[in-house]
Structure 1
Amino acid sequence: METNTTLNYLQAHGIKPSLQRMAVMTYLIEHRTHPTADEIYTALHPSIPTLSKTTVYNTLKLLTEKGAALQLTIDERNCCFDADTSPHAHFLCTRCGRVYDMKLNQAELIKCACVPDKFQTEDAQLYLRGCCPRCAALNMDN
């Protein structure tokens, strides 16, 4: 991704750019694998030796607070992150651990919930768990 694109994206979300913030955001945008903070740190540390895990965690916290990224808790063991902040669902393959994006009609999802009067819904997340087609095919081969 171009540096200007990441810079503009951060500024549009009210985030003051820094080398570390730019690197983390660029990584998220370029790697749609829903990485964990540790995966991001491991990938970026060789090219930014002064980068600390604390900086990565703090950057991810800032990105999620400002709406520039999503924090996913689909897997109770790991928290992962997504640069795609548009309404969509996530599917966790319980065999390989990969997280997939799924199209979602958020308005329809909210209608499915019995939200009591006077509650105002701001966001809805849908997590699905099961077996992905790749793992299912591998299971059939055995």
Structure 2
Amino acid sequence: MKESIDKVSQYLTKNSIKPSYPRIKIFQYLEENHSHPTVDEIYNTLVKEIPTLSKTTVYNTLNILINAGVARVLTIEGNETRYDVDMKEHGHFKCESCGDIIDFTIETDKLNVMELKDFKINVKSIYYKGICNECLKYKKEKLEEE
């Protein structure tokens, strides 16, 4: 759902973030792109609309959003940092074929890991890797054609 600039501005203000135009646009981009974009993807898309935008502004804005608790970092495979503003509890699946990252619903509080029962858990992150159903379907069709 595309949020209006006014609604995003109000949301950022409510979360103690000064709603500058670049911050609003970066937050909107994250909301509208569930692909969990990288800094480069955010920058390359928004610089067309905001010619004065710098990567530093993107990094700084993302840090502000993260520190305010309205965005989070996803580190995929150690070298791929992506960003997500969906703060609901969910996991991520990365397709090894097409590279898509797909959200899935999971109730992490229902995961009972006995080895960690006396630990204080600060972050719960569920991440799967494999081949998505679209890529499997495509591969099956290719095999049937041969």
Q: TM-score, normalised by structure 1?
A: 0.91
Query: Where has structure 1 moved over 3 Å in runs of 4 or more?
Result: none
Q: TM-score, normalised by structure 2?
A: 0.89
Q: Which runs of 5+ in 1 are unaligned?
A: none
Summarize the alignment of residues 74-113 of structure 1 with structure 2, pairs less than 5 Å apart: 74-109=76-111, 111-112=112-113
1:26 Cα shift? 0.7
2:30 maps to which of 17, 28, 38: 28
1:15 Cα shift? 1.4
Summarize the alignment of residues 2-81 of structure 1 with structure 2, pairs less than 5 Å apart: 2-81=4-83
The one-letter amino acid of 2:50's match is I
The one-letter amino acid of 1:130's match is G
1:71 Cα shift? 0.9
The one-letter amino acid of 2:45's match is A
Report SS of the residue matched to 1:73: strand
The one-letter amino acid of 1:127's match is Y
Which digits, 9 at most, give the CA deviation of each residue in 1:105-134, with x for residues without a partner? 02013x2252252x3223201011000001
Count of residue pairs the alignment pairs up? 140
Identity %: 38
Is the Cα–Cα contact under 8 Å of residues 75 and 92 in structure 1 kept in the other structure?
no
Task: State the match for 1:137 in structure 2.
Answer: 137
1:13 Cα shift? 2.1
Task: State the match for 1:121 in structure 2.
Answer: 121
The one-letter amino acid of 1:136's match is L
Report SS of the residue matched to 1:47: coil
Work out the CA distance in 2 between the residues paired with 1:86 and 1:59.
21
Work out the CA distance in 2 between the residues paired with 1:75 and 1:20.
29
Q: Which runs of 5+ in 2 are unaligned?
A: none
1:139 Cα shift? 1.3
1:96 Cα shift? 0.6
Deviates more, 1:63-72 or 1:82-91: 63-72
Structure ID, larger Rg: 2
Is the Cα–Cα contact under 8 Å of residues 27 and 40 in structure 1 kept in the other structure?
yes
1:69 Cα shift? 0.9
